[in-house]
Amino acid sequence: MLVAFSVAPSGTGRNDGSVHDAVAAAVRIVRESGLPNRTDSMFTTIEGDWDEVFDVVRRATEAVGEYGSRVSLVLKADIRPGYVGELEAKLDRLETAMEGLDSGA
């Protein structure tokens, strides 16, 4: 499964509203998990089985909770039993499709 999630604290007491320290704590947990992952400006996507992915999301959310009085979690999952390596494979299929469009196929 692939899970894309965004987690952020509120009630941080910071005047600038920045949450980068909290997000860094969450991303560190994801990266240390050893699961395939990718972080962009909006979401972190992680790949693995149900139990291991949601354990990482839970721990990342708990880490963010240390930075504020509330935590917001947004999550989207692509559950496709029997498929692995989809973090890269989905992008590869997209690029192949784009090449087909560019060549007029």
What residue ranges do the domains of the chain occupy? Answer: 2-102
Q: What is the mean pLDDT of residues 62-85?
A: 94
Tell me the pLDDT band of 94, cut-offs 50, 70 and 90: very high
Q: What is the mean pLDDT of residues 62-84?
A: 94
pLDDT at 31: 98
**What would the two tokens of residue 50 be?**
């149900």
**What would the two tokens of residue 61 be?**
């959310």
Architecture per CATH, 2-102: 2-Layer Sandwich (3.30)
Tell me the pLDDT band of 12, cut-offs 50, 70 and 90: confident
Tell me the pLDDT band of 3, cut-offs 50, 70 and 90: very high
Per-residue DSSP letters for 59-82? HHHHHHHTTSSEEEEEEEEE--TT
Q: How far is CA 94 from CA 16, 37, 72, 76, 98, in A?
A: 38, 18, 31, 19, 6
DSSP-assigned beta bridge partners for residue 2: 47, 78
Question: Is this structure's pTM higher than 0.75?
Answer: yes
Q: What is the mean pLDDT of residues 57-68?
A: 96
Residue 105, pLDDT > 70, answer no
